[in-house]
């Protein structure tokens, strides 16, 4: 009798139609290998679970800390967790589980899936030639160099074959683009003037991935102008009073000379 009650209550609490209590976690793209800025989708599914009552919890790297995200399931007992623009911090292992009721009844954890986000660019460098201090009217070049990750070619996306990977460069001066979608990575100025001074940076792009260089400040060599300015100041500050004193002493001298 006792056994029968136990069996009945078990059937009522966990009806057979609910099926297995272990969700399945899949990652898209499969393998979880993506470049930075690409999208990764984790899909957690409880097979045979109809109804909107389930909430889905995602755990990253450890199961014993709080869920990194949770969401309501769909009517099909499925929920998705989208990493819209993947970055290095998303690399790791993920699990999901579902829960419902109060207090929460949790399912088992799913199996683990891995996400591995690779940066395309290891470094992006902006170089000024011949120097960051340019003589007025002289030519100068800014060159943007992108260093690509060695592993790029082993990644799963066949469209992003490393030999066909197109990298384009945008040059910014004081935050405004001065050259966009350059394939050569060269920004050339034939005759420098004050318009060309400022803080430059370049942005390398490949697909959705991008990386920005450090800042390079271009100034004009205004040594000669400075000399003129200093000389002018000396003239006003020093020669002026001297002339005044001279004039005064001449007047005094004149006054002192008996008529």
C-beta of 123: minimal distance to ligand NAG in Å?
Answer: 17
Please, what is the minimum distance in Å from the beta carbon of residue 58 to ligand NAG?
A: 18
Stretch that binds ligand NAG, among 15-23, 105-113, 135-143, 246-254 (CB under 6 A): 135-143
Q: Which of 95, 58, 51 is closest to 73 using CA atoms? A: 51
Binding mask of the shown chain, residues 107 to 126, with x at each position contacting ligand NAG by CB under 6 A: ---------x-x--------
Residue 11, both tokens: 């059937």
- Could you tell me how many residues of this chain bind ligand NAG (CB under 6 A)? 15
In this structure, are residues 63 and 137 in contact, taking their beta carbons and an 8 Å threshold? no
Using CA atoms, how far residue 104 sits from 30, 46, 54, 60, 99, in Å, is 31, 16, 10, 20, 6
The whole-angstrom separation of Cα 68 and Cα 193 is: 53
Based on CB atoms, which residue is closest to ligand NAG, 36 or 43? 36
Q: Token pair for residue 126?
A: 């902006």
186: which 2 tokens? 């060269």
Min CB(187)–ligand NAG separation in Å = 9
User: Which position among 82, 161, 194, 217 is part of the footprint of ligand NAG (CB under 6 A)?
Assistant: 161
Nearer to ligand NAG, 29 or 99 (CB): 29
What is the spatial distance between Cα 98 and Cα 103, in angstroms, rounded to a whole number? 13
Q: Is residue 187 packed enough to be buried (19+ CB in 10 Å), middle (13-18) or exposed (0-12)?
A: buried
Residue 188 in the binding site for ligand NAG (CB under 6 A): yes
**Least Å distance between CB 228 and ligand NAG?**
26
Asked if residues 12 and 33 have their Cβ atoms less than 8 Å apart, the reply is no
Decide: residue 207, CB within 10 A, 0-12 exposed, 13-18 middle, 19+ buried: middle
The minimum distance between CB 162 and ligand NAG, in angstroms, equals: 7
Name, in order, each residue with C-beta under 8 angstroms of 99's C-beta and a sequence gap of 6 or more: 54, 55, 57, 105, 106, 107
Closer of 102 and 163 to ligand NAG (Cβ): 163
- Contact call for residue 129 and ligand NAG (CB under 6 A): yes
Q: Which of 21, 22, 24, 91 binds ligand NAG (CB under 6 A)?
A: 91
Instruction: Please pick, from the candidates 11, 154, 228, 230, the single residue that binds ligand NAG as defined by CB under 6 A.
Output: 154
Q: Is 74 in the site for ligand NAG (CB under 6 A)?
A: no
Q: Phi and psi at residue 10, in whole multiples of 5°?
A: -65, -45
Least gap, CB of 131 to ligand NAG (angstroms) = 9
The footprint of ligand NAG (CB under 6 A) covers 91, 116, 118, 129-130, 139-141, 151, 154, 161, 163-164, 186, 188
């Amino acid at each position: 009798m006792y056994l029968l009650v136990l069996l009945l209550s078990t059937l009522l609490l966990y009806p057979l139609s609910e099926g297995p209590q272990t969700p399945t976690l899949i990652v898209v793209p499969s393998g979880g290998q993506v470049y930075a800025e690409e999208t990764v989708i984790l899909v957690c599914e409880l097979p045979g679970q109809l109804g909107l009552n389930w909430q889905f919890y995602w755990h990253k790297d450890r199961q014993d800390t709080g869920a990194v995200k949770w969401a309501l399931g769909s009517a099909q007992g499925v929920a998705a967790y989208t990493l819209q623009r993947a970055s290095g911090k998303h690399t790791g292992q993920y699990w999901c589980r579902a829960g419902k009721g109060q207090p929460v009844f949790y399912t088992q954890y799913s199996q683990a899936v891995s996400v591995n986000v690779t940066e395309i660019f290891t470094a992006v460098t902006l170089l000024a030639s011949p120097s960051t201090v340019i003589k007025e009217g002289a030519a100068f070049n800014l060159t943007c160099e992108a260093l690509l990750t060695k592993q790029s070619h082993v990644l799963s996306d066949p469209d992003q074959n490393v030999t066909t990977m197109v990298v384009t460069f945008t040059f910014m001066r004081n935050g405004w683009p001065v050259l966009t979608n350059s394939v050569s990575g060269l920004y050339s100025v034939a005759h420098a003037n004050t318009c060309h001074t400022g803080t430059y940076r370049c942005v390398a792009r490949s697909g959705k991935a991008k990386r920005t260089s450090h800042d390079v400040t271009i100034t004009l060599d205004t040594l000669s102008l400075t000399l003129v300015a200093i000389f002018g100041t000396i003239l006003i500050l020093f020669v002026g009073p001297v002339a005044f004193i001279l004039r005064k002493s001449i007047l005094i001298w004149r006054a002192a000379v008996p008529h």
